[in-house]
Structure 1
C-alpha cells in the first residue's frame, strides 16, 4: 500500500500533467461517447460509473479529446493504467482490429454530428 506522501506526490504530478495540456472534450461529447459505445469500450460492461480513458495516456502526451477518449469500466481502466491501447489489447488478447475500427467509426460519427 502506498504511503500518503507517495500518493500525494503522484496526485500533484498528475495535476501538473493535466494543467500542461489543453483538453477540449465537452460534457455533451462525453455523454454522446458513452451513448455511442453503450458501455465499456473494451469489455462491453454496462456497469454504472464509466470512466474517461485516454487511448494515448496523458502521461505519454495524450489529452482529453473526442478522438482520444473512450468510456471504460473501472476494471479495464485500472488494468490499462498508462499503457498504450494497442499494447494493452494485445496483452489481454482482445480483438485489437475490431476495437480500432469501432473507435474510428464512433469518433467519425460524433465529429460530423
Structure 2
C-alpha cells in the first residue's frame, strides 16, 4: 500500500512540474464557452455530470491547457483516457471518433479564437 501511495505521489509531483513549465493560458471565460459549445462530454455526450478539462494532446506529451487543446469530459472519460492519444483511445473504447473530430472542427470554426491582449497593451 505504501509503495502505491509513493508511486502516486511521484506521479503527482511530476504532473505538477509539467504544469508549472507549460504555457497554460485557458481563461475561465474560455472554458465556459467551450463547455457551452460542446453541451456535454466531448467524448460520450453525457450531460448529467460535472465536466472536467481534458487535454486532447496530453500534458505528458507536450499538451497544454489552451483553448485549442481542451475539451469538456465527464470524469469517467477523462480518467479512462488518461495520457492516451485521443483517437486511439476512442477506437479502443468503441466511441465515434469521426463524429468527435467533425464536431471538434465545427466548434473550432464557429468560435473565433481571439487571443487576449498583452497586459501592457491595456495600459
State the structure with bigger RCO (CA 8 A, min sep 6), 1 or 2.
1
Deviations 1:13-66 (A, max 9, x none): 001111111011110010011111111011111133211011110001100111
- Which 5+ residue runs of structure 1 have no aligned equivalent? none
- Aligned residue number for residue 62 of structure 1: 63
In the TM superposition, 1:26-37 aligns within 5 A as 26-37=27-38
Change (3 A) 1:38 1:22: same
In the alignment, the residues of structure 2 paired with residue 75 and residue 107 of structure 1 have an alpha-carbon distance, to the nearest angstrom, of 24
Contact 1:66–1:107 at 8 Å: present in 2 too?
Answer: no
- Which 5+ residue runs of structure 2 have no aligned equivalent? 115-123
In the alignment, the residues of structure 1 paired with residue 5 and residue 60 of structure 2 have an alpha-carbon distance, to the nearest angstrom, of 21
Relative to the length of structure 1, the TM-score reads: 0.91
Relative to the length of structure 2, the TM-score reads: 0.84
Aligned residues: 113
Coordinate RMSD, CA, aligned: 1.6
- Aligned residue number for residue 53 of structure 2: 52
More off after superposition, 59-68 vs 100-109: 100-109
In the alignment, the residues of structure 2 paired with residue 23 and residue 112 of structure 1 have an alpha-carbon distance, to the nearest angstrom, of 16
Change (3 A) 1:112 1:15: closer
1:112, CA displacement in angstroms? 4.6
- Aligned residue number for residue 7 of structure 2: 6
In the alignment, the residues of structure 2 paired with residue 12 and residue 20 of structure 1 have an alpha-carbon distance, to the nearest angstrom, of 12
Secondary structure of the residue that 2:54 maps to in structure 1?
A: strand
Secondary structure of the residue that 1:102 maps to in structure 2?
A: helix
